[in-house]
Amino acid sequence: MTRPIYDQAKCHPSIQDEIGGSAEHRKTVGEVIAAINKHTVVIVGMRQNPFPKQAKKMLDEKGIEYCYLDYGSYFNGWKPRGALKMWTGWQTFPMIFVRGQFVGGKQDLEKLMKSGELAKMLVNPAMK
């Protein structure tokens, strides 16, 4: 399903340059894209949130390697997290990517693991 995105043509000309996000936003998204391109599994999270920790623990227990990127806590880092939320359309953390495909959060990862689909995705590079 395609998510609705406000038509940039309907934005006032004085803010057109900011629509794509600041340089900081582009840097944050670029960091995640670079990690996705380099690693099979990427978890994007934040300190103090128990769900990224739970997702990492689930993967650790199965011996599945991953790259973890941390973007602040409940007290800071809201701008980079906001950029990632706008980029993915996902409102919560963690954000989990497998072979470049966004698969959701901790509960979604758990479902993929229980169904055996995650194992298939890790073995077969063509499966997305």
* Domains (range + CATH), the chain: 22-123 (3.40.30.10)
Which residue in the block uniquely carries the two structure tokens 């990492």? 56
pLDDT per position as a tens digit, 64-89? 999 999 999 999 989 999 999 999 99
Measure CA 11 to chain center.
27
What span, in angstroms and rounded, lies between the C-alpha atoms of 84 and 86?
A: 5
Q: Residue 127: its pLDDT value, please?
A: 63
Give, for all 128 residues of the chain, the pLDDT tens digit. Answer: 688 888 888 888 888 777 777 788 889 999 999 999 999 999 999 999 999 999 999 999 999 999 999 999 999 989 999 999 999 999 999 999 999 999 999 999 999 999 999 999 999 776 65
What span, in angstroms and rounded, lies between the C-alpha atoms of 35 and 40?
A: 9
